Amino acid sequence: MVVVHLSAECFPLAKVGGLGDVVGALPKYQQELGVTSIVVTPYYDRKFARDNEFEVIFESNVRMGDRDLPFQVLKETTDKLGFHLHLIRIPGLLDRSEVYSYPDETEQFIAFQLAFLEWLLRFSEYPDIVHCHDHHTALVPYLMAHAFKYRFLSTIPTVLTIHNGQYQGWFGWDKFHYLPETDPLTRGVLDWGGAINPLAAAVKSCWKFTTVSPTYLEELKQSSKGLEPLFLQEEKKGSGILNGIDTDVWNPGTDPLIPLNYSMDNVTKGKQENKRALCKEFGFTLSKPLFAFIGRLVGEKGADLLPAAIEKILSAAKGKASILILGSGDPAIEEQLAQLKETYKKDYNIYIGYDEALSHRIYAGADFLLMPSRVEPCGLNQLYALKYGTIPVVRSTGGLKDSVIDVTEPEGYGICFDELSAESIVEAIGRAVDLYANTSNLRLLRKRMMLLDFSWNRSANQYIDLYNSLK
């Protein structure tokens, strides 16, 4: 079986969020299971692309409206990532340093998809599956099904994975001329609410779609920025498959980015030594429970609730806990969180930005990970935390609900809450502080978490089963 994964991100080439982690791992695990995995992304002028060997395997031109765009397809020559990585380069559109936030982002990703389809037409043998990820590639199922130019591709099964249904890629009908000619009767497939909606078009056109957790599949029927009726209508096409993690990268026993490697057998010592180094780095007291938040400082992640919650915890707890923040996002939230540092110097610190190595040190050294998310289609951070014996404190939504069981339940190992409020975060942290005081129970929970299997092996097999159902 040959599967092409089409994505805007892929770790380590370009990662902005969980999409990059998934596309950098799932194809590798599928390759190990006997699937030939090809990943296709835009070219980005970043370290990975500059430092590795690529060869040009295809060159052509593609028409986008009144523009004739020359493009190249580059292949990484060593397959060092465990799958076949291809990059599409278009001067001025797909040769930039950043992934998103350009004023012509719509043109950027339309050009990417059109160039991919132009190349796909020239394959000597078509792949068994074209697997598209999120709205940046969501026009591909529609065009394969309905564009006259790509009619020979219509028999290739298409799968869409929705990593975050809040982002749908809307653009106006004034840009419809960018797309190749289609049957006028199919143009309604593109439309949702008077605009072209790539995600909606893909859900209508693809053979199957997946979400990155079972609970998120159900949540989209209730809250998906206007697409709720569509997800109800197309529910028979949908499957919820929980993401996994790459245990070659996220493994405390072998992780080169943490001060001391450890396993389930010596988790108490390993956590203590990593915590000691982290406390020294950020000025914390070793004996206090250390809570961490890693992620985007945006409302979607519940980060807007953190300033009030942190103030209540650190003022009321009388020095019983420490809190460390790693992330960036909304400038107003960043400023509020940064200001707290002056008031609570001994028990609070923040790093504005993102540092991959630091995130590994935090997972290894923190006692608890905070995830008070409003929306969390899957969440990978809680899975990393579990692997490192760090107890997740989460709001039960999306993938968090599917992967974290409260300590009050049989075989539970996390702390869960339902209400979205600063008070609920405070209450959950209070429960965690009490739990931290019970040393024997803490040791038991850490071992229980580290025994859990959230590797990609299970999820990769579920995707392969889905592919086989389409053959």
pLDDT range class, residue 75, cuts 50, 70, 90: very high
255 assigned to some structural domain: no
Other CB atoms within 10 A of residue 11 CB: 20
| Gyration radius (Cα) of the chain, Å | 23
pLDDT range class, residue 317, cuts 50, 70, 90: low
Residue 415 above 60 pLDDT?
yes
48 assigned to some structural domain: yes
**Same domain for 277 and 143:** no
Which CA distances in Å does 288 have to 44, 305, 394, 422, 433? 43, 23, 20, 21, 9
Q: Residue 345: what pLDDT?
A: 87
**Same domain for 178 and 76:** yes
259 assigned to some structural domain: no
Q: What's at 229, amino acid-wise? A: P
Residue 9, both tokens: 């991100």
Give the 3-state secondary structure of residue 62: strand
**Same domain for 341 and 240:** no
**How far apart are alpha carbons 17 and 454 in whole angstroms?**
18
Q: Residue 316: what pLDDT?
A: 75
Burial of 116 (0-12, 13-18, 19+ CB in 10 A): buried
**Same domain for 277 and 412:** yes
142 assigned to some structural domain: yes
**Same domain for 464 and 440:** no
**Same domain for 461 and 448:** no
120 assigned to some structural domain: yes
pLDDT range class, residue 318, cuts 50, 70, 90: low
Count of domains observed in the chain: 2
What is the percentage of the chain residues whose pLDDT exceeds 70? 100
Q: Could you tell me if 339 and 349 are in contact, meaning their C-beta atoms sit under 8 angstroms apart? A: no
Q: What's at 139, amino acid-wise? A: L
pLDDT range class, residue 177, cuts 50, 70, 90: very high
40 assigned to some structural domain: yes
- Which residue has 């009619």 as its token pair? 151
**Same domain for 195 and 284:** no
**Same domain for 284 and 425:** yes
- Give the residue from 384, 439, 464 showing the smallest Cα distance to 159: 464
195-250 tens-digit pLDDT: 999 999 999 999 999 999 999 999 999 999 999 999 999 999 999 999 999 999 99
**Same domain for 350 and 233:** no
**How far apart are alpha carbons 180 and 177 in whole angstroms?**
7
Mean pLDDT computed over every residue of the chain: 96
Q: What is the dihedral of CA 463, 464, 468, 470, to 10 degrees?
A: 30
**How far apart are alpha carbons 449 and 251 in whole angstroms?**
13
Residue 71, both tokens: 């493009």
CATH of the domain at 61: 3.40.50.2000
**Same domain for 325 and 443:** yes
Other CB atoms within 10 A of residue 223 CB: 14
Q: Could you tell me if 381 and 295 are in contact, meaning their C-beta atoms sit under 8 angstroms apart? A: yes
250 assigned to some structural domain: no
pLDDT range class, residue 315, cuts 50, 70, 90: confident
pLDDT range class, residue 17, cuts 50, 70, 90: confident
pLDDT range class, residue 355, cuts 50, 70, 90: very high
Structural domain containing residue 371: 264-453
439 assigned to some structural domain: yes
Q: Residue 194: what pLDDT?
A: 96
Considering the entire predicted model, what is its pTM? Answer: 0.91
Average pLDDT over residues 287-300: 96
**Same domain for 464 and 434:** no
- Which residue has 């037409």 as its token pair? 121
Q: Residue 307: what pLDDT?
A: 97
**Same domain for 297 and 275:** yes
